[in-house]
Amino acid sequence: MKRRNFLKLSASACAALAALQLGDKDIFRPVQARSAAEAPKLPGSLGAKEITSVCEMCFWRCPIVGKVKNGRLVKIEGNPKSPANGTRVCARGNSGVQLLYDPDRIKYPLKRTGSRGEGKWARISWDEALDEVAHNLKETKRKYGPHALAFFDHGASAEFMRDIFKTLGSENYTNEPAFFQCVGPAALAYLMTYGYVTTGTRQYIDMKNAKAMLFIGTHIGENVHVSHVREFIEGLQNGAKLVVVDPRYSASAAKADIYLPIRPGTDTALLLAWMNFIISEGLYNKEFVEKHCTGFDELKKAVKKYTLQWASPICDLPVRDMKKAILLLAGNSPHVAVHPGRHSTWYGRGDTGRHQALAILAALFGAVGVEGGLYFPTHVKKGHISFGCVEEEPETPAKSISEDYYPFASTFGSPTSKIIEATLTGKPYPVKLWGINGVNILQTISNPYHTMEAIKKLDFIFCEEILPTETAIWSDIVLPGATYLERYDTVYTFDLLTPYLTVRQPVVKPMFEVKSSFWIARELAKRTGLKCFNYNNEVEFIEEELKGAGLTLKELNQKGGIVSYKANPYRDPKEFKVATEDGKVQLAVEDFADEDLDPVPKFVPTPAPPKGYVRLVYGRSPVHTFSRTMNNKWLHNEAPENLLWLNDKVAKKVNIKDGEEVVLENQDGYRSWPIKIKVTPGIRPDTAYMVHGFGSRSKQLSKAYKQGASDQFLVTEYEDDPFMGASSHRTNFIRIVKAGKVINLPELCPPPKDIPRFVPQKNRTGGK
């Protein structure tokens, strides 16, 4: 029986069936004998009102159905009409219910009463809160100019407010999706190679139809995006071979045909040696390269010196294994899914180059516009809307905070590190006000100690938040935002292998005094004197967007909240052009050369651990999203704390047992909250690993506070990507403190001469 038909059955039959399903003996009674008034309550979500919407427990934004009974959300499922997901959501998607009903939620506008970071607040009215924010925006701009305003933004809630900062004339916004802490280097590399961003919020890689796949770091299975994981699994079920390169035996590595436990920070050496190998052995796709690429001769010349023998000691991998892997991949060309990666702010220098190397390798396989390769997104048409926000040109243009340092930064916004530096030093100009929306800056941005110092220097800081996170407790004014389950945002189009259009709409009414992001932005604009957001409410502009797709909101809802389209991901190899100026894949990027940057990637070694330390790396838990889910009742029950993965041989040498609780100390002497050790052969001896997002420092998060350790609070050393200014997160090292005693860790795989050791800088300011 189809679920929909099932729900249409009469209440009594429904209750009986439900009882059968649930095996609940009490409910399974002869209900027919009762009157309607006496009928037992329907258990669970049966009989619930169903409202379709879009998940934002992470940024994959799966289509969902909220099941509401008596005004209360009882369950979230996938939208059954979704071609990519069906009724599936992940654990986090399901647990949105517990975000909505989190007792720690911010319920009213708040004004700081104690010192910044102390978490002492007074409840104030919306008028008071909005007027104070608007007053400070205007005053700061008047006193210091528009660039003194900075906005840290991530996710749908921040999009409207970003327009206010832009309209006021500031270029200091950090942009979705976390460009400077996440996809920036990868997005830039693919943009310059192919003319379009094949990895940003989405990754256009056809794992489902691949004959072979290559993951560098990418740890799908722990990194969970429902349709992406499904396509990966389908690819494996279809017989695709998998090569995984990771210093840790990840969930993906466990499925690999070839697993290469590489020395962290040396992936570009491996990729360059592979390129040289397939070029010199004639194993690359000559037809594709001749027809669709420029810069081949330059590439060939540049990679000639990188042999597998050269890469072997650098990557700490046997030549035999590297060769086996590249032969397996090349042997399946062009149907090779070279995953473009997503999180790419690893080592600073070399991050753009690593992803450029991945982009080039895909082209050498001819794995572009074909089944199993990088594919072309199918854009779904929707109406264009304008909020009427006209960006003001500052009267005296300021020296750029980004372009003067990083030539490709301003494509995306302004680097977080530069905003923080300008706040601390007043150079190249003072930054005096921060607005924050959808980012937990202390857990997200490298060197939180720096961030806290900078906050102390500000004239004013405010945020729109839903939970009393570290960010909230450091703010002067907190505006209580509606969660994604209580608000409209814009119309969403999904341009992957199963394109569709859907819309986020409230599943329940906003609780307490929280307000939608659009409402907050519109009010702020009004009070700041901007002629902006010229719609009365969200439905007005959603209707306009839908009109462009030939729909109304009512019609879309009648169709089950989703309209699907046919994908056009592959191209006729005789005809296709990529989106670069000459329509060809750029194997050498001349725009980089014009800025004195390498047109073809080079291997730039990241410093090796100092003696006594191992490198700290991190990744995802399948049941958490960064720090934002740590206080969620259901997800906390699944994974209340993180563990530090430590190599078994290292652990044995220093007598550390599995499950022991320790404290971590980084190379600059900063210490973590206590964390338990997971002793495992599944990590290299020179590396330690933890899941990101734990170790909250906000006492007002009753479940998350002090649970596990935060990787970010051990990231005091970072380096910026020279192309676009993203900050690194894997340039820090830890040793262990057990029962107050510092334990130096033995070095079981020393770096070769070519890789210098990390030397702490004198008079460091944290970032360079």
> With CB under 6 A as the contact rule, which of the stretches 86-94, 410-418, 458-466, 499-507 interacts with ligand SF4?
86-94
Report the distance separating Cα 450 and Cα 424, nearest Å.
8
| Opening angle at CA 572, ends 566 and 573, nearest 5 | 140
Pairing of strands 477-480, 110-112: antiparallel
Nearest residue to ligand SF4, scored by beta-carbon proximity = 93
Whether the Cβ atoms of residue 227 and residue 498 lie closer than 8 Å to each other: yes
Task: For residue 641, give the nearest of 623, 664, 654, 615 by alpha carbon.
Answer: 623
Report the distance separating Cα 760 and Cα 768, nearest Å.
12
Report the distance separating Cα 272 and Cα 303, nearest Å.
6
CB neighbourhood size of 511 (10 A): 15
We find the least distance from the C-beta atom of residue 292 to ligand MGD, in angstroms, to be 27
Q: Distances in Å between the alpha carbon of 62 and those of 154, 202, 438, 483, 556? A: 17, 12, 18, 16, 17
We find the least distance from the C-beta atom of residue 226 to ligand SF4, in angstroms, to be 4
Q: Which does 380 bind (CB under 5 to 8 A by kind): ligand MGD, ligand SF4, Mo ion, none?
A: none
> Which position has the token pair 């430590």?
646
Question: Counting contacts by CB under 6 A, is residue 735 touching ligand MGD?
Answer: no
Question: Counting contacts by CB under 6 A, is residue 88 touching ligand MGD?
Answer: no
Q: Which of 52, 333, 712, 728 binds ligand MGD (CB under 6 A)?
A: 712
Question: Which x/- pattern, by CB under 6 A, does the window 328-357 give for ligand MGD?
Answer: -------------xxx--x-----------
Whether the Cβ atoms of residue 676 and residue 609 lie closer than 8 Å to each other: no
Using the minimum distance from each CB to ligand MGD, give the nearer residue, 373 or 468.
468
Question: Counting contacts by CB under 6 A, is residue 418 touching ligand SF4?
Answer: no
Helices of type H across 196-250: 226-237
Tokens of 339: 């995953």
Question: Counting contacts by CB under 6 A, is residue 226 touching ligand SF4?
Answer: yes
Question: Counting contacts by CB under 5 A, is residue 186 touching Mo ion?
Answer: no
Q: Which of 78, 184, 185, 247 binds ligand MGD (CB under 6 A)?
A: 247
How many chain residues interact with ligand MGD (CB under 6 A)?
60
Q: Which does 464 bind (CB under 5 to 8 A by kind): ligand MGD, ligand SF4, Mo ion, none?
A: ligand MGD
Q: Which of 438, 506, 607, 725 binds ligand MGD (CB under 6 A)?
A: 438
Tokens of 121: 């607040």
> With CB under 6 A as the contact rule, which of the stretches 13-21, 462-470, 554-562, 750-758 interacts with ligand MGD?
462-470
Using the minimum distance from each CB to ligand MGD, give the nearer residue, 317 or 585.
317
What does the DSSP assignment read for 607-666?
Answer: PBPPTB-EEEEEE--TT--TTTTTT-HHHHHH--S-EEEEEHHHHHHTT--TT-EEEEEE
The alpha carbon dihedral of 15, 18, 19, 20 has a sign of: positive
The alpha carbon dihedral of 384, 388, 389, 390 has a sign of: positive
Q: Which does 226 bind (CB under 5 to 8 A by kind): ligand MGD, ligand SF4, Mo ion, none?
A: ligand SF4
Give CA 290 to chain center in angstroms: 36
Give the 3-state secondary structure percentages of the chain, helix then strand then coil, rounded to 5. Answer: 30, 20, 50
We find the least distance from the C-beta atom of residue 477 to ligand MGD, in angstroms, to be 13
We find the least distance from the C-beta atom of residue 61 to ligand SF4, in angstroms, to be 5
Q: Which of 81, 105, 112, 225 binds ligand MGD (CB under 6 A)?
A: 225
Report the distance separating Cα 520 and Cα 527, nearest Å.
11
Q: Which amino acid is at 10?
A: S
Q: Which does 335 bind (CB under 5 to 8 A by kind): ligand SF4, ligand MGD, Mo ion, none?
A: none
Q: Which of 40, 80, 93, 348 binds ligand SF4 (CB under 6 A)?
A: 93
Q: Which does 62 bind (CB under 5 to 8 A by kind): ligand SF4, Mo ion, ligand MGD, none?
A: ligand SF4
> With CB under 5 A as the contact rule, which of the stretches 120-128, 174-182, 505-513, 539-547 interacts with Mo ion?
174-182
Question: Which x/- pattern, by CB under 6 A, does the window 45-84 give for ligand SF4?
Answer: ----------x-xx-xxx----------------------
What does the DSSP assignment read for 713-729?
Answer: GG---B-B-TTT-PBPS
Whether the Cβ atoms of residue 500 and residue 127 lie closer than 8 Å to each other: no
Q: Which of 483, 502, 632, 700 binds ligand MGD (CB under 6 A)?
A: 483
Q: Which does 695 bind (CB under 5 to 8 A by kind): Mo ion, ligand MGD, ligand SF4, none?
A: none
Report the distance separating Cα 479 and Cα 228, nearest Å.
34
We find the least distance from the C-beta atom of residue 186 to Mo ion, in angstroms, to be 10
Q: Which does 57 bind (CB under 5 to 8 A by kind): ligand SF4, ligand MGD, Mo ion, none?
A: ligand SF4
Using the minimum distance from each CB to ligand SF4, give the nearer residue, 55 or 328.
55
Question: Which x/- pattern, by CB under 6 A, does the window 256-295 give for ligand MGD?
Answer: ------x-xx-x----------------------------
Question: Which x/- pattern, by CB under 5 A, does the window 327-356 give for Mo ion?
Answer: ----------------x-------------
Give the CA count within 13 Å in the CB-facing half-sphere of 260. 30
Report the distance separating Cα 80 and Cα 95, nearest Å.
18
Tokens of 477: 């004014």
| Alpha-carbon torsion, ordered 350, 353, 355, 359, to 10 deg | -170
In terms of Cβ atoms closer than 10 Å to its own Cβ (0-12, 13-18, 19+), residue 70 is exposed
| Opening angle at CA 168, ends 162 and 173, nearest 5 | 35
Q: Which of 106, 150, 182, 530 binds Mo ion (CB under 5 A)?
A: 182
Tokens of 609: 């651990």
How many chain residues interact with Mo ion (CB under 5 A)?
2
Applying CB under 6 A, the residues found at the interface with ligand MGD are 58-59, 154, 157, 178, 181-182, 216-219, 223-225, 245-248, 250, 262, 264-265, 267, 341-343, 346, 437-440, 443-444, 464-467, 469, 471, 481, 483-484, 617-620, 622, 624-628, 689, 692-693, 711-712, 715, 729-730
Binding site for ligand SF4 (CB under 6 A): 55, 57-58, 60-62, 89-90, 92-93, 224-226
Q: Which residues bind Mo ion (CB under 5 A)?
A: 182, 343
